[in-house]
Structure formats: structure tokens, C-alpha cells
Copies of this chain bind each other. A is one copy, B any other.
Amino acid sequence: MSSENRDQAVFGWVTSDNMAWLTDLYELTMADSMFRQNRNDQASYDLFVRSLPACRAFLVAAGLPQALAYLRDMRFDEAGLDYLSRVRCLTPRFLDYLSEFRFSGDVWALPEGEVYFPPAPLLRVTGPRIEVQLIESFLLNTFNAQSMWASKAARMVLAAQGRGVIDMSLRRDHGMDAAMKVARASYLAGAVGTSNVLAGQVFGIPTYGTMAHAYVMSFDSEIAAFRAFAEDCPTDVVLLIDTYDTLRGADHAVQVAQEMAARGQQLVGVRIDSGDLVALSRAVRAKLDAAGLDKVRILLSGDLDEYRIRELLIQGTQVNSFGIGTNLGTSPDDPSLGAVYKLVEDSAGPRAKLSTGKATLPGRKQVWRFHGPDGTMLKDRIALADEPAPPDAQPLLVQVLRGGEIVGDMPTLAEARERCARRLGQLPPALRQIQGYGTYPVELSAGLEKLRAQAYANAAKA
């Protein structure tokens, strides 16, 4: 891209050619410094969340396929090297190193869709120090956002108790990549689909749509709008019935449903986007049932989130699915996840940061999960990677990259979705609550406790 039009480019800002440059400058200046000093010993980093966000009882891991493709394919392209050599004092030999860069490390990770409890590692990366440092910013961007969305969506799925959750957030999401990732992460967490057509195409996610108030208003009458829509598109018809008066809208929907039935067609549903959703949904359900339309579904929308879903169901709302926009796409109760990426071992041995509130656990780790006889999760144990496996516990971290190569097949969205559904089913009941939930025990192994104590003792001596 020429410098004249670079600030006019609007698509393809981040591509597989230049994604390596989507990083904080200090990753490069620190790497240059390490390169000059030949400080490129083997080092291990943990990517982890220090503690649960205030409004979350658990987290759902998401973003692994994106991270793996990045690590496999990242290259520092010529355009970026030219740019940096113009604006920064990086050393020419380091720029040469970057031009030949391939990630050669090993990665162990929590599979996508796994339920996750801080401060266990989501990811353990081992490799030459410069390599494992250079990938920090991108990995954090990848896991923080996607895990945040998957965790938020999982709460909505739990609150909906089997009713459908549909992503309708595109117009409020933080950009184009966010819109795609919200659709993907929420489907992973159990949503039934998205309104986002491109996400449907790219990820193979079911798409859902209804109609807008503007469509209804562009006709002389509501029933004329319903008839026109049902004629054009006799499958997948969901009628928006609250443009004027929701109960009269329901009558019009019943009439059109009966006209459709006479043609051998089936009205899929009606949507209510405003008003007293409890009372209106019950009255609309009664009208539909009275007309023998018990298969016609009710979709609710309008500033919904998991708190509101829970309230609606407690109050007896009649609903088959929820369309959710802003509160899914921007997660206002916890709009960011604060995963960090910290050195835990290098050629000098295990390393730990000891500062209060920002302490890290030293050493390369494995995480073990214990289940009760009925499969319910009991507790997690963070252990050193070389400690023996505890009896009756499952290891959570699996090797996903060896010497820079992906181990086995690239994990699929379908596998992640299935895993997440299974895990949500294994959550202790107290953690499935939307508010006032319980906490989950995460303990340290004897080996890790000992190593941590040594780190503090060494620091006290120093």
C-alpha cells in the first residue's frame, strides 16, 4: 500500500500477510534488545486471567484456532520492515532476523469451549525467548475478546434454559472483526445462530432474521405488510407484531398464518420488540394457541441480557427464543477480559513475579480437573507439568503446537460448541446462577506450592 493512500484503506487492514505487525511496539524494541545480547534461551510463558471478573462465575475459553493459525503463519512482511526501518531505531541485523522469522515453539492449551477458572493457565508457550515474547500482544487480543464474548453468551444460554439465544449484535459491535467473532463465540457457547449473514457463510452458523418496523410502516396497513412478506418468502417467516399495537398485531399474524396454512405453508413465528414482554407474550401465546397455532414461535428482543432473560422466565413469559444485540456484543457488565501473559520459566529456572495483586505462579504447569460421580465439576488443581497425574482427574491442557507445527487437525467450531455444551452441563448448580452464584475451588498442587514458597524465600534473601 502506498503511503499516499494508506489512511484511506478501509478493508484488509489486517491480513495473513501483515498480522505479525499487529503488535505493541515494545514487543519489537525489547526483542531487538534481547537479540543484540543473544538472550534467546528457552523460555515459558503462561497466558492466564488473574481472577474472575466481578460478574462472572466461570469463563469459557475461545480463540484457539485463530491463535494457532497466527502462530503457524505469522511473517514480518517487507512493507512492515520498510516502515519500521524508516521510523524506528531497530538494528538492521534484528530486522533481518524478523524477515526470516518463523515461530518454532511448543504450545499447550485449554481446548476451545472448555470452561475455565482463573488463575489456571489458558495457554502455555515454550520456545526461544524472543519468539515467545513477540507473540504476546496478538495472543492477548485474540483470547481476551473471544473468551469474553463466549463467557457472556454462555450466561445467556444458561439463563434461557433451553430456549434459543440469537446473536443480533452486528450494528453495535466494535468493528467488523468483532461482529464476526461475536457470532462465532456466541454460537460456540450455545447460541442457536446469528443475524450476521457473512458469519453464517464463513462459519456455517444458522442465520435468523425477521423484519424491521420500517418495513411494516412502509405499507398502508400492518396486515398488508405481513401478507406481502409471507407471499414472497413463505418459509422462515417471522412477523414483527409490535409496530402499532402488539395484540392487534397478533390478530393480524393469526390471520396471515391461517391464510398461509390454507396454502400449505407454516408461519414460523412472531417477534415482540417492545412493551411489557411478560404480559404481551402471554396474551399473544393465548391468541396463537386459541387459533390452533401452537407451533408458531415467539421471539423476544429489545435490550435483553441474561439478567432480563432470567427475570422474564421467572415471571412466566411465554417465549421460544431471544434475539440479543448490544448486551451480547459489548458485554457492558464486564466489557473486557484481562488475561495477561507472563514469564514462568527460563534457562535460569522457574520465574515468578511476586508483587501483591500481580503475582504469577512459577514453572511450566498442567491443570487437573476433578469430577463427582455424576460428572459434576468439583475442583481444579494447578500443578507443575512434571508432577505425576493425580488419580481420577482429567488434564485440561493439551499440546496443540509442536515446533511451530499444529498437532493433529485444526480444531473446529463444532467440536468447541459440543465441548462447551457438555461442560456447562457439568457446572456445579451454584455456578449456573446469573447472580449470587457460588465459587469454584482452584487449588495449587504440593509441588507448585513448594516452588512458589521457594520463589518468595529467594526474593526475601535477595
A208 partner residues in chain B, CB cutoff 8 A: 25
A391-430 interface code vs B (CB 8 A; 1 in, 0 out)? 0000000000000000000101110000000000000000
Q: Does A461 belong to the interface (CB within 8 Å)?
A: no
Cα distance, A335 to B180, chains bound together (Å): 18
Q: A134 to nearest B CB, angstroms?
A: 11
Q: List A173-190 residues whose CB lies under 8 Å from chain B.
A: 173-181, 184
A79-87, A117-125, A363-371, A444-452: which lies at the interface: A79-87
Contacting pair B24 A202 (CB below 8 A): no
A414 surroundings in chain B (CB, below 8 A) = 7
Tell me the number of copies of this protein: 2
Q: Which residues of B contact A331 (CB under 8 A)?
A: 335
Q: Does A140 contact B (CB under 8 A)?
A: yes
Interface assignment of A332: CB less than 8 Å from any CB of chain B: yes
Could you tell me if B140 and A197 are in contact, using CB atoms closer than 8 angstroms? no
Structural contact, A217 and B7, CB atoms closer than 8 A: no
Q: CB-CB < 8 A to A137: which residues of B?
A: 170-171
Find out whether the CB atom of A172 lies under 8 angstroms from the CB atom of B200. no
Bound state CA distance, A38 and B183, in angstroms? 33
Chain A stretch 1-22: residues in CB contact (< 8 A) with chain B: 1, 3, 5-16, 18-19, 21-22
With both chains docked as a complex, state the minimum distance between the C-beta of A8 and any C-beta of chain B, in angstroms.
Answer: 5
Flag the segment in A63-71, A284-292, A304-312 that touches B.
Answer: A63-71
Q: Verify if A262 is at the interface (C-beta below 8 Å from B).
A: no
Residues of B within 8 A of A295 (CB): none
Scoring A84, A172, A353 by chain B CB atoms within 10 A of each residue's CB, the highest score goes to A172
Q: Which residue of B lies closest to A43 (CB)?
A: B218
Nearest-CB distance from A37 to chain B (Å)? 6
Looking at A99-107, A153-161, A233-241, A381-389, the stretch in contact with chain B turns out to be A233-241
In this assembly, does A97 line the interface, its C-beta being within 8 Å of a C-beta of chain B? no
Q: Do residues A24 and B170 form an inter-chain contact, with CB atoms below 8 A?
A: yes
Q: A353 vs B342: C-alpha distance in the bound complex, in angstroms? A: 54
Taking the closest CB of chain B, its distance from the CB of A406, in whole angstroms, is: 10
Query: Which of the listed residues A34, A215, A346 has the most CB atoms from chain B within 10 Å of its own CB?
Result: A215
Query: Which of A88-96, A248-256, A433-441 sits within the interface?
Result: A88-96
> A317: CB under 8 A from chain B?
no
Once the chains bind, are B14 and A209 in contact (CB under 8 Å)? no
In-complex Cβ contact of A6 among B179, B202, B234 (8 A): B202
- In the bound complex, how far is the Cα of B410 from the Cα of A425, in angstroms? 53
Task: Chain B residues near A346: list those with CB within 8 A.
Answer: 218
Cross-chain contact B6 with A11 (CB below 8 angstroms): no
| With A177-B178, A218-B343: A210-B26 Cβ-Cβ less than 8 Å | yes
The answer to whether A141 has its CB under 8 Å from any CB of chain B is: yes
Q: Is the CB of B201 within 8 A of A232?
A: no
Q: How far is the CA of A210 from the CA of B30 in the complex (A)?
A: 9
List 14 A-B residue pairs with CB atoms under 8 Å apart, sorted by A's residue number: A6-B202, A8-B69, A11-B16, A24-B196, A25-B196, A33-B233, A34-B215, A37-B232, A144-B171, A148-B174, A174-B330, A175-B178, A330-B330, A332-B332
Apart from A22-B180, A24-B168, A89-B236, 15 more pairs, CB < 8 Å: A1-B202, A11-B14, A12-B12, A23-B170, A23-B197, A23-B198, A25-B207, A26-B195, A36-B232, A90-B233, A140-B172, A174-B174, A174-B181, A175-B178, A218-B346
On A, residues with C-beta under 8 Å from B are 1, 3, 5-16, 18-19, 21-26, 28-30, 32-34, 36-37, 39, 65-66, 69-70, 79-80, 83-84, 87-91, 129, 133, 136-137, 140-141, 144-146, 148, 168, 170-181, 184, 195-198, 200-204, 207-215, 217-218, 228-229, 231-236, 274, 326, 329-332, 335-338, 342-343, 346, 351, 353, 355, 410, 412-414
